[in-house]
Every structure is written in structure tokens, then in C-alpha cells.
Amino acid sequence: MKSVMYLNNKQQIIELILNTGYFIPLGYLYRIRAGKLEVAVITMITILWTETLQYVFYLGIFDIWDIISNFIGCVIGYQFYRIIKRQMA
């Protein structure tokens, strides 16, 4: 039930949007140099490393919602690359 109540105030919605937005360029850049599976693996390693550093240095919390929204941001960036490449061809 807690996961359904996650987006219950304005601050949490803003954090979700920002967490997604921060990783859009990363997904785009990873796609330039790597294939689909490599992008997924590198993305998860990067996100887990970022979340772990936040936890260790008390800069934030290790939150599953951050991991999900960061991964979605990378997927959006990956799709932007595919769209732009298709338009330029």
C-alpha cells in the first residue's frame, strides 16, 4: 500500500521528474557507444553506484523509486537517440 501512496505531495512529484530528467542525457550518451544490452547493464551499474554513494556519504537515501525513475530517464534518452538517428537517416 505504501508504494501506491508514494506520489502524495508536490515535493515527491518534483523529485520524480528531476530524477528522471537527470538521466535522460546519460541514456542518450550510452547509446552512442553501446548496444541495447550493454546500455541496460551500464545504466544499472551507474544508478546503483550513484545511489550507494548517496547512502554512504549521507547525501540522500537509497530508494527504489530513485532507481526506477533514473532507469526510466535512461530509457527515454535511449529512445531519443533512436528517434534522432532515424530522422537524420
List Cβ neighbours of 22 (8 Å cut-off, separation of 6 or more): 70, 73
- In contact, 82 and 30? CB cutoff 8 Å: no
Per-residue model confidence as pLDDT tens digits over 3-26: 555 667 888 889 889 999 999 999
Our CA angle for 53, 11, 19, nearest 5°, is 40
Per-residue model confidence as pLDDT tens digits over 15-64: 889 999 999 999 999 999 999 999 999 999 999 999 999 989 988 778 89
